Structure 1
Amino acid sequence: MTSKLMSTLAVATFAAAVSTIAAAPSATAEPCPDVQVIFARGTTEPAGLGSVGGPFVEDLRAKVAPQSVVGTAVDYPATNDFGNSVPAGTSAARALIESTAASCPNTKMVLGGFSQGAAVVQLAANEATAQSGDHVAASALFGAPRSSFSSMLASGQALPSLAPQYAANAIDQCNVGDPICWEGGMDMGAHVSYVQSGKVAQAADFVAARV
C-alpha cells in the first residue's frame, strides 16, 4: 500500500469519526416538571415515597394531566430515634425545596409528608428561604404529629406547624382515632389507612385545584 493511499484512508477514517461524534446526541438534563412533589415518608417505612406518598403522587398525576408531575422522596432515616431522624429529614427536605426553586423556577412545588414525615416537611418549609417558599403551591399532610401522645413520643418537644404563609394552601388530614394527630385517639389502624379512608384522594383534589 502506497503512502499516499494510507494517508487518504487515514483522513477518511478521521472524518468518519468526527462525523459520528457530531451526530451523536448530547447528554441533557431532565426537563423541569410542571409539578414537583417533595414527600417525606412515615416512621420505619422503607426508603422512597412510602405507603401514602406513592398513592398521593399517582392520584395527583391523574388529576392534573397533561401537566407533568414528578415525586421526589426526602432521603432521611425515618427511624424512631426522633431526635436525630427529624433534624436529618428537615435538612434534606429544605435542601430539596431550595434546590428545586433555584433550578426549576417555573415548577410548582407541592410539599407532603406522612406521620414523622409531616413534621419534617413542616419544619423544612418554615426554615427554607422566603424566595424558595414562594414556589410552594400547596402542602398535604397526613397523620401529622398533633396530639399529646405525639408530644410524649417527641420527649415533650414542641410539635411543628406550618408557617402562616403556607397554611392557606395546605390540607391537614387526620383520620378519626389516629393517636398521632387525634387527641385521645387509640386506633393505630387509623394511622395506617389514609389511602383506604379516601383522605389521600381528597388531598389530591385539594392540591390539584392549586397547581
Structure 2
Amino acid sequence: MWFARGTGEPPGIGGIGGSFVAALRSDIGAKSLAVYAVDYPASSDFSSSDFPRTVIDGIRDASSHIESMAAKCPATREVLGGYSQGAAVAGYVTSASVPQRVPAAAVPKPMAPDIADHVAAVTLFGTPSEQFLQHYGAPPITIGPLYQPRTIELCASGDPVCSGGNDAAAHALYAVNGMTGQGADFAAHHL
C-alpha cells in the first residue's frame, strides 16, 4: 500500500491516509498490509516556482517504489492512494503519457504498462479538479486507461478542491464522512 498525504500534512500518510489504512486493514482481515508513505514535501506554497518540483518528487518516489515492488515481489497486489495534493501525485503516477505542455525531460516517464497488472486499486480522496489545477498552472490529471477500471475518486459535496464548492471544511472531513471506509471497501474488493 502506497499513500501520498495531503498538502501541509507532516511526513507520513496523514490523517486521511491513516483512516483509510485502518478501514482497509479491517476489511481485509488476516491478509498482510505493509504501508509506505510517499516521500515528498506536500508543500502548501502553491505560488513558489519550486512547487511543481515537490509534486514531481512525489511522482518519482511513488512510481519508483511501485516499480521496485512489482519487480521484487511480482505476486504482491499493490494499492495506491492519496489525499488532496497526494491524490494529484497518485493520479499523475497512473498517467499513460506525460501531460501536454510539460517537458518530458522534466518529469518521470510513465510507468511501463505491465506495472498496472500489479496495482489492484487506486483510491483518491479530494483529487484537485481540472479547474483547481488550472488556477495554479498545473496540467489536468488523466488516469491512465489501464488504471481506470480499478480507480475510485471520492469527492465530498461542497469540497472546493475537487468539486469547485465553497465548503472548505468538506475537504478535511474524509476521515469522518464515511468516504475513507468507502475507499477501503473498493480497494479490498479489488485485492
| 1:41-190 mapped onto 2 (5 Å cutoff) | 41-81=5-45, 82-126=51-95, 127-152=110-135, 154-155=136-137, 157-183=138-164, 185-190=165-170
CA apart distance, 1:191: 0.4
Q: Check 1:147–1:190 CA distance in 2 against 1; reply closer, same or farther (3 A cut).
A: farther
Q: Is the 8 A contact 1:150 1:181 kept in 2?
A: no
Equivalent position SS for 2:79: strand
- AA of the residue aligned to 1:140: T
Distance (Å, rounded) in 2 between the aligned partners of 1:169 and 1:148: 24
Q: Is the 8 A contact 1:42 1:78 kept in 2?
A: yes
Q: How many residues align?
A: 172
Larger RCO, structure (CA 8 Å, separation 6 or more)? 2
Q: Is the 8 A contact 1:75 1:89 kept in 2?
A: yes
- AA of the residue aligned to 2:55: V
Equivalent position SS for 2:147: helix
Q: Percent identity?
A: 43
CA apart distance, 1:149: 3.1
Could you list the runs of 5+ residues in structure 2 that have no partner in the other structure? 46-50, 96-109
Distance (Å, rounded) in 2 between the aligned partners of 1:97 and 1:140: 15
Distance (Å, rounded) in 1 between the aligned partners of 2:134 and 2:177: 25
Could you list the runs of 5+ residues in structure 1 that have no partner in the other structure? 1-36
Moved more, 76-85 or 44-53: 76-85
Q: String of CA shifts for 1:171-204, please: whole Å, max 9, x gaps.
A: 1000001011003x11110000001110000111
Distance (Å, rounded) in 1 between the aligned partners of 2:141 and 2:133: 11
Distance (Å, rounded) in 2 between the aligned partners of 1:202 and 1:65: 16
Distance (Å, rounded) in 1 between the aligned partners of 2:92 and 2:133: 16
Distance (Å, rounded) in 1 between the aligned partners of 2:91 and 2:2: 12
CA apart distance, 1:147: 4.6
Q: Is the 8 A contact 2:125 2:153 kept in 1?
A: yes
Query: Equivalent residue for 1:193?
Result: 173
Query: Equivalent residue for 1:28?
Result: none
Equivalent position SS for 2:35: strand
Distance (Å, rounded) in 2 between the aligned partners of 1:143 and 1:115: 5
**TM-score (ref. length: structure 1):** 0.78
Equivalent position SS for 1:137: strand
**TM-score (ref. length: structure 2):** 0.86
- AA of the residue aligned to 2:184: A
Query: Equivalent residue for 1:30?
Result: none
- AA of the residue aligned to 2:140: L
Query: Equivalent residue for 1:204?
Result: 184
